[in-house]
């Protein structure tokens, strides 16, 4: 086991992709195996925070005290059987995708940041552009090796229901507390997942590194689609783009059945023009869509269905882009990935701090949400960019205040959060709560909800030592 105690070696672990500063830790521990981790944890009493790849956006891997455990040495990939793969928690999405290229299998969750570790994506229940059809990371986890902060270890398999006992290798067992809290029905990554029919596995996934440590993971794979019909549609006005979404959803998985529906507002397109000069000048909005095609034979039919549908709509069809092969599909994904990257680079250069939303609402409030954003944003010269998962009613609004506008930007953020909560939405649909969104989470679930969630934490980590400061 490696132990790093020099401040300069600890410093890189006190950062993630949020702008959070002020973390602190006594040392970084790097175990060679889960058994080594178990021995370490059994003899440890300090707060423990798990480090993944550090791409998180909520400072959830940055402790204020205690010890950081980095699982970077647990980085092996092994095929289990057809459709199942075993990965160490430090394996990155990039590494997994590269491994799968030579197979006929496909791992659907595709968070934009492919340097994320799989352990991190489980802890945050990461999702991405294809989650519109395929759902979140939780849906693809079959089994994990899990270690509690007191060193107790178990193999947790799908199918172990929350009303059954959770048993550990040392013979001890835990039962789920009596609580009334239930997670919201829309896409949600805020707080613990609680649903009366869930498995124990579902609880640990998305728990922001606060309930247990994933030391080995078995993922479910799907047969690889043979191709994707994919395009970037441009619109002369935003409304035409928004109106397309309920129409697409009304097909209910028939001919038009996309897996991705990703939005770019006017400001996002303006920023993207620095890297993509071919964006049509007069476009005000864009939609990146993808539909997976199981068999190549069906490609032309699916393409034809999209053309027939889009021809009837208010789209700049001649200026829109349609993929002609795998290279174009990758280009469109890069186009989507470029927007947060460009904003982050600009912010670093300008020394500007962004306020980023990650909120979602149930389907029935989609159009009201879009109109509310339009009415609320862009006032008083506050720069902003809006992009993200339109199909999930889940947009990322990046408020980009100059120094004198920070307070105002915070007020705008609060106003948005209040309205989203009135619609029974969530303050985090993707990135989790971590240390940065606790105020909003408390508003979202109320004192009773918080007290229920604390009961869950208490039965797994009564001294609040794992991922302390996150969520609660």
List residues near ligand FAD by CB under 6 A.
16-17, 49-57, 60-61, 71, 89, 111-113, 116-117, 119-121, 123-124, 126-128, 208-209, 213-214, 340-341, 430-431, 467, 470
What 3-state DSSP class applies to 331? helix
Beta carbons within 8 Å of 445's beta carbon, 6+ residues apart: 181, 190, 191, 453
Phi-psi region of 192 (alpha: psi -120 to 50; beta: other; left: phi over 0): beta
CB of 322 to ligand FAD, least distance (A): 23
- Give the number of other Cβ atoms within 10 Å of residue 436's Cβ: 21
Looking only at the bridges linking them, the beta strands covering 27-30 and 67-70 are parallel
Q: Is 162 within 8 Å of 199 (Cβ atoms)?
A: yes
Q: Which is nearer to ligand FAD, 120 or 231 (CB)?
A: 120
The DSSP bridge partners found for residue 233 are 287
Task: Output DSSP code: residue 338.
Answer: H
C-beta of 379 vs 439, nearer to ligand FAD: 439
For ligand FAD, the closer CB: 120 or 449: 120
DSSP 169: T
Q: Which of 8, 2, 67 is nearest to 41 (CA)?
A: 67
**Residue 93 CB, nearest distance to ligand FAD (Å)?**
9
Taking alpha carbons only, the member of 238, 267, 248, 246 closest to residue 371 is: 238
Residue whose Cβ sits closest to ligand FAD: 120
For the CB of residue 209, give the shortest distance to ligand FAD in the complex, in Å. Answer: 3
Report the residue number, 69 or 232, with the smaller CB distance to ligand FAD. 69
Least Å distance between CB 353 and ligand FAD?
15
User: In the complex with ligand FAD, which residue's Cβ is closer, 17 or 232?
Assistant: 17
Closer Cβ to ligand FAD, 284 or 333, answer by number: 333
Least distance from C-beta 113 to ligand FAD, angstroms?
A: 4
Answer whether 303's CB lies under 8 Å from 256's CB: no
Min CB(70)–ligand FAD separation in Å? 9
């Amino acid at each position: 086991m490696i132990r790093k105690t020099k401040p300069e070696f600890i410093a890189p672990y006190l950062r993630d992709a949020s702008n959070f500063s002020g973390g602190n830790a006594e040392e970084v521990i790097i175990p060679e195996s889960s058994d080594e981790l178990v021995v370490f944890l059994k003899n440890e009493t300090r707060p423990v925070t798990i480090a993944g790849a550090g791409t998180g956006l909520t400072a959830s891997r940055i402790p204020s005290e205690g010890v950081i455990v980095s699982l970077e040495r647990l980085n092996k990939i092994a095929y289990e059987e057809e459709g199942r793969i075993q990965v160490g928690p430090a394996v990155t999405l990039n590494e997994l995708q590269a491994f799968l290229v030579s197979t006929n299998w496909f791992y659907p969750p595709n968070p934009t940041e492919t340097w994320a570790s799989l352990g991190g994506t489980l802890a945050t229940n990461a999702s991405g552009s294809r989650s519109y059809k395929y759902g979140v990371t939780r849906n693809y986890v079959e089994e994990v090796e899990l270690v509690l902060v007191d060193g107790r270890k178990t193999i947790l398999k799908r199918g172990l229901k929350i009303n059954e006992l959770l048993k550990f290798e040392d013979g001890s067992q835990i039962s789920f507390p009596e609580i009334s809290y239930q997670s919201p029905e829309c896409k949600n990554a805020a707080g613990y997942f609680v649903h009366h029919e869930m498995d124990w596995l579902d609880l640990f996934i998305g728990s922001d590194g606060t309930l247990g440590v994933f030391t080995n993971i078995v993922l479910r794979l799907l047969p690889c689609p043979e191709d994707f019909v994919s395009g970037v549609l441009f619109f002369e006005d935003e409304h035409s783009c928004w109106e397309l979404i309920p129409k697409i959803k009304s097909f209910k998985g028939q001919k038009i059945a996309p897996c991705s529906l990703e939005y770019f507002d006017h400001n996002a397109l303006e920023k993207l023009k620095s890297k993509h000069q071919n964006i049509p000048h007069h476009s005000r909005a864009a939609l990146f869509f993808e539909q997976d095609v199981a068999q190549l034979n069906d490609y032309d039919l699916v393409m034809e269905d999209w053309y027939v549908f889009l021809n009837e709509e208010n789209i700049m069809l001649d200026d829109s882009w349609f993929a002609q092969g795998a290279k174009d599909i990758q280009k469109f994904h890069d186009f989507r990935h470029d927007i947060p990257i460009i904003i982050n680079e600009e912010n670093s250069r300008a020394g500007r701090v962004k306020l980023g939303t990650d909120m979602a609402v149930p389907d029935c409030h989609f159009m009201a949400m879009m109109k509310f954003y339009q009415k609320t944003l862009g006032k008083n010269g506050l720069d902003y960019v809006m992009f993200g998962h339109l199909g999930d009613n889940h947009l990322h609004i990046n408020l980009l205040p100059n120094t004198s506008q920070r307070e105002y930007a915070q007020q705008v953020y609060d106003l948005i959060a209040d309205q989203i909560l009135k619609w029974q939405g969530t303050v985090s649909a993707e990135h989790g709560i971590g240390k940065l969104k606790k105020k909003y989470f408390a508003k979202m679930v109320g004192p009773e909800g918080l007290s229920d969630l604390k009961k869950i934490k208490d039965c797994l980590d009564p001294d609040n030592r794992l991922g302390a400061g996150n969520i609660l």
